[in-house]
Each structure stands twice: as C-alpha cells, then as structure tokens.
Structure 1
Amino acid sequence: MSSLLGEKIRRLRTGKGYSLDKLAELTETSKSYLWDLENREAHRPSADKINKVAAALDVTPEYLLSERDVAPDEKIADEAFFRKFRTLDPDVKKKLRKIMDAFDEE
C-alpha cells in the first residue's frame, strides 16, 4: 500500500510523462528508491531527496509532505518556479527579466 506522498509523486510524475528512470535521472537517485517512495507505506525520505523530487516535479517540498490530497494550485507552482529562479545563473536571470519586461510593454 502506498502513502499519500507516494501517490502524489506518482500522479505528478505520470502527469509530466516521466518514467521512473527519467525522474531518477533528474533527482540523482535510483529508480528502485523512487519505486519504494511511490509504493511503500513507511518510507522516510531525507530533506535533500524531497527537495530534489519537488524541484523535478515543479512543486514545493511542503506540498509533497502535506497531509492534504489536493492538486497543486497556482500558488504552489509559483513557489516552485521562484525557488528554481533563485538558483539560476545570473545571466539566465537577466534574460528572463528581459522576457518579462517585454510582456509589460505590450
């Protein structure tokens, strides 16, 4: 029997069209570890693993760990985006800001 965490990971992973292999590659972990997360009840992943899985699935770690079984909303997606944005190379951030400024000019 899977946990709510496992169900969320599976739903988000399949929604993005990711195989276990693809998510393992993106999170620098093993396919078997992810399978365990998705399918076993009593699994306690580290904060590092949860952060990597959340980032790969474009959600926040808080969303994955919450006891509520709701689809991620726009607020969750925005928080995940800004967490990724903060880790980008400064040149990439500058380019993204220019793109956003172009939308304001319309």
Structure 2
Amino acid sequence: MTSTFGEKIRALRKEKKLTLDQLAEKAQSSKSYIWELENKNPPRPSADKIAKIAEVLGTTADYLMDSQNLQSKETAKDLAFYRKYQTMDESKKDTIRQMLDLLEKK
C-alpha cells in the first residue's frame, strides 16, 4: 500500500501516464520541484501546490497528505467529484442527475 506523500504522487502520476515535466506544467510548477516532492521525506509543499497537484491527479489534497492511509484512492476521487459538482451551476447538476437516473435504469 502506498503511504507517503511522494509515493502517492508518483503512483498517481504514473497511473495517468504523466511525465514529471507534464505534471509540473499542468500543476504550474517545475520538474525539479515535482521530483523533490516525490523523493524528499518529508516534503514541505505549500497548500496551493498540493491543491494544484491533487487537481491534476484527480484526487484530493486530503488523500495525498493522509500518512495513515485512512482514505482510499476511490473515496478521494468521489470527494473530488463531489467538490466539482458542488461548484456547478444548477443546469449542469440537473444534467448529471438525469444521467445518473438513466444509468440506474439499466
């Protein structure tokens, strides 16, 4: 089980088939900074950097920072989805609700 902050970033980055350069660009950081986060123990990232990296990796900052592995990757994805859902306008929320209703009928 992946447990450290850096191991989680590396595992999620590889799962998404992103290079260090690609993750750095998408998270508005540098390749060397991402490398340091993946390899230094303990890392000292800012909350803003953690949030950007988590967003790019499709997870939450809580999941990345959870050193006791209390939150699964799937739960983190669900929480990230719900946070996005909460910020959507009502018409988009209604579309998602309709899609879920259709999926449940199958």
Scaled by the length of structure 1, the TM-score of the pair is: 0.77
Identity %: 44
Alignment correspondent of 2:100: 100
Aligned residues: 104
Specify the code of the residue in structure 2 equivalent to 1:35. Answer: W
Contact 2:59 2:76 in 1 (8 A): yes
Specify the code of the residue in structure 2 equivalent to 1:40. Answer: K
Distance 1:92 1:18, change over 3 A: farther
Specify the code of the residue in structure 1 equivalent to 2:97. Answer: R
Scaled by the length of structure 2, the TM-score of the pair is: 0.77
Question: Structure 1 regions of 5+ residues with no counterpart?
Answer: none
Contact 1:9 1:38 in 2 (8 A): yes
Question: Structure 2 regions of 5+ residues with no counterpart?
Answer: none
Give the alignment's Cα RMSD to 1 decimal.
Answer: 2.5
Distance 1:31 1:89, change over 3 A: farther
Distance 1:84 1:29, change over 3 A: farther
